[in-house]
Homo-oligomer: A and B are copies of this chain.
Amino acid sequence: MDIAELGERGLIARLGRFFGHAPHILVPGGDDAAVVVPGSGALVATTDLLFEEVHFSDRTTGPFDVGWRSAAANLSDLAAMGATPFGMLVGLGLTSSTSVEWVEAFYAGFTACSAPVGALLLGGDTCRAKSRTVAVTALGTVEAGRILRRNAARPGDALVVTGHLGASRAGLAVLLEAQRYAHLGAPVREAVVAAHRRPRPRLEVPPLVFALSERAAAMDTSDGLTDAIAQVCAQSGCGAVVDLAALPIDAATAQVAAKQATAWALGGGEDYELLIALEPDAATQLVQRLAAIGIGGAIVGQAVAGDQVVDTEDRPLEAPGFEHFNRP
């Protein structure tokens, strides 16, 4: 059944089961707005827009994964601020020929990613559009003394990256060029495809950071590591030296990427890992704790005085992050 047949109200009725219900949600989705009592702390809010054929495509991403990824992208921004999520809002622009099954699978994926981490669906808006569009707002709380800002890095800080890099880009490659990578084993292909389709926002990480250090800067790597380092450095008024040999790249990604592994790790984007700048001793311990909880990570460089971001041979770091308005 397509949504034009069901109509907007019929669709909203079908989607009601995805809305969060909990004692702290005073008015769930379905009224003019949702009303919720957040936990203590300041409110953290972020919003993102995703467009079909720009940010996702039916060729590589089914509706469940479009839902999952759009929730994950916003929850990753909350993680990068040190926040604990409590709620999500989602606006969906849909073509009239979109099936009800597509919309339900989207909501299923969206809530499968967000509800288990406490981010309950508070509200939604669905309307007609020329191409499918997803607008997500994620809401969380943070204690005022535990905000991970981009501007808090200091020369001498170590730069830690959680997890591993380039895997999402490798997964995209496998999805776009199945033939080319058919010779690789299924476990390799499945590992990178899973990294692309179901990224996990690193919400567990900020408490580890603050257990080790009073001060840290952070940003997520959604637009690539190079971009994240450049932005943290620019906002903190420092430079960085990046050790390309230290970039955490897992075996499956390395196999798919071959010679492009470093480029994808730096600029592939959509890994939704965290870049964290903090004192070297704390950084060493953080990497150990990340390993202990199965996330992993590595020290990939150091913040330095100045404003240049270079590798260990003093070459400027290239592979700029995704610039949305570049001409094709």
Contact status B33-A128, CB under 8 Å: no
The residues of B that contact A127 with a CB separation of less than 8 Å are: 49, 51, 54-55, 324
Sort chain A's interface into a size bin.
35 or more
The residues of B that contact A323 with a CB separation of less than 8 Å are: 7-9
Other A-B pairs, 20, CB within 8 Å; known A47-B123, A48-B125, A55-B127: A6-B325, A7-B325, A11-B325, A31-B151, A33-B44, A33-B80, A33-B81, A33-B138, A35-B81, A37-B42, A37-B43, A45-B89, A45-B139, A49-B92, A49-B133, A51-B127, A51-B128, A53-B130, A93-B133, A135-B135
Contact status A129-B327, CB under 8 Å: no
Bound form: Cα–Cα A62–B151 in Å: 37
**A61: interface (CB < 8 Å):** no
Bound form: Cα–Cα A125–B42 in Å: 21
Least Cβ distance of A243 to chain B in Å? 24
Contact status A325-B93, CB under 8 Å: no
Say how many copies of this protein the assembly contains: 2
Chain A, interface SS category: strand
**A99: interface (CB < 8 Å):** no
**A293: interface (CB < 8 Å):** no
Contact status A142-B46, CB under 8 Å: no
The residues of B that contact A6 with a CB separation of less than 8 Å are: 325
The residues of B that contact A144 with a CB separation of less than 8 Å are: 26, 37
Least Cβ distance of A147 to chain B in Å? 6
User: Which A residues from 290 to 308 make CB contacts under 8 A with B?
Assistant: none
Given contacts A43-B43, A131-B130, contact A77 B9 (CB under 8 A): no
**A83: interface (CB < 8 Å):** yes
Contact status B133-A27, CB under 8 Å: no
**A78: interface (CB < 8 Å):** yes
Contact status A46-B32, CB under 8 Å: yes
Bound form: Cα–Cα A55–B6 in Å: 21
The residues of B that contact A77 with a CB separation of less than 8 Å are: 32-33
Bound form: Cα–Cα A134–B94 in Å: 14
Bound form: Cα–Cα A109–B26 in Å: 32
Contact status A91-B49, CB under 8 Å: yes
The residues of B that contact A32 with a CB separation of less than 8 Å are: 46, 77-78, 80-81, 150, 218-220
**A137: interface (CB < 8 Å):** yes
Closest to A78 in B: B33
The 10 closest A-B pairs by CB, nearest first: A135-B135, A33-B46, A49-B91, A32-B80, A47-B89, A137-B137, A127-B324, A32-B77, A128-B324, A8-B324
Listed by A's residue number, 14 A-B pairs whose Cβ atoms lie within 8 Å are A7-B323, A32-B77, A32-B219, A34-B45, A37-B42, A46-B123, A49-B129, A51-B128, A51-B129, A51-B130, A91-B135, A93-B133, A128-B324, A133-B133
